[in-house]
Structure 1
Amino acid sequence: MKRLSQFTIIIMIMLFQQKIYAQKTAAANESSQYTIENCVNEFDLTKATKTKSGYQYWFADKKFTEENTLKMSIVEPGKSTHAPHHHPEEEFFYILEGKASFYLDGKTVEVGANTSLYCPPNSEHGISNAGDKDLKYLVIKKDLR
């Protein structure tokens, strides 16, 4: 039997590894196929996560989508989900119900339902409930993996 050169062996190993990687990738893609059943997500309070200020419900999280997330937050009167903060991702809020106090880079404004709020990347921002009823809003964010 002819002796194989080191170069030939390295090429064979690389081809074998590539085949294994392709099989794993194909299997992962099959398990994350989008269907009509998993692309429709109706709000279900029993699947919501309780927070210190109310609760949140993920319509689409970073495990499901490739880069975007969609969450609904419900905040009790006088509370906020967290203190003003910043992160590299841009973010949108869309007020569904209630009255929000929106903080952006040192300024604050109060807004009501059917209002969108934009947070540029790395801006200091926060949102809190400025009303006497629950504040309900959507959070739309691109995940920077």
Structure 2
Amino acid sequence: MKTASIIKIAIVTLIIQSAQAQETKKETTPAEIKYSIENCVNHFDLNKATKTKVGYQYWFADKNFTQENTLKMSIVEPGKSTHAPHHHPEEEFFYILEGTAEFFLDGKTVVAGPNTSFYCPPNAEHGISNVGKTDLKYLVIKKDLR
């Protein structure tokens, strides 16, 4: 009986701690954002870009701002890729702005340049690499599965 009581107390304590953590961790959701012309227009600013191991990325719209889609620009140095081929449940679009990209999708590759889009269906193994001699600049459009 004593052990059962201790377990019940422990479970109740964990539930309370979890609820408190959720409250303190609560982030601003898009429903709480007041959208205006000032925050809906986003001009690229290199000073606000995030440096990565292979270049940098700039979020025009992230999951904390939009209802369900994100828009990011990635810049990748020659001969590099943002990460190894991977997969995730979200579909994804890539749009090449500058440079030469190699797109990997389920075991096959294609090389293309500016004004080309690549579509990655949900759960497909995919990746993108810079196979050119200049920086690769591309947009990533992805639905945020909250």
How big is each residue's C-alpha offset from its partner over 1:43-71, in whole Å with a ceiling of 9 and x where there is no partner?
00000000000000000000000100000
Structure 2 CA distance, aligned partners of 1:95 and 1:130? 13
Distance verdict in 2 for CA 1:34–1:131, change over 3 Å: same
Structure 1 CA distance, aligned partners of 2:89 and 2:57? 22
Structure 1 CA distance, aligned partners of 2:77 and 2:39? 30
How big is each residue's C-alpha offset from its partner over 1:85-136, in whole Å with a ceiling of 9 and x where there is no partner?
0000000000000000000000011000000000000000000001000000
Check the 8 A contact 2:130/2:136 in 1, yes or no.
Answer: yes
Q: Does 1:33 align with 2:40?
A: no
2:104 corresponding residue in structure 1: 103
Structure 2 alignment gaps of length 5 or more: 1-28
SS at match of 2:110: strand
Structure 2 CA distance, aligned partners of 1:33 and 1:125? 36
Deviating beyond 2 angstroms after TM superposition, the runs of 4 or more aligned structure 1 residues are: 28-31
2:136 corresponding residue in structure 1: 135
Structure 2 CA distance, aligned partners of 1:123 and 1:92? 12
2:77 corresponding residue in structure 1: 76
Structure 1 alignment gaps of length 5 or more: 1-27
TM-score with structure 1 length normalisation? Answer: 0.79
SS at match of 1:46: helix
Structure 2 CA distance, aligned partners of 1:110 and 1:36? 38
Partner AA of 1:47 in structure 2 = K
Could you say which structure has the larger radius of gyration? 1
Question: Between Structure 1 and Structure 2, how many residues are aligned?
Answer: 118
Distance verdict in 2 for CA 1:132–1:138, change over 3 Å: same
RMSD of the TM alignment (CA)?
1.3
Structure 2 CA distance, aligned partners of 1:106 and 1:122? 13
Structure 2 CA distance, aligned partners of 1:38 and 1:31? 14
TM-score with structure 2 length normalisation? Answer: 0.79
Paired-residue identity, %: 81
Partner AA of 1:48 in structure 2 = A
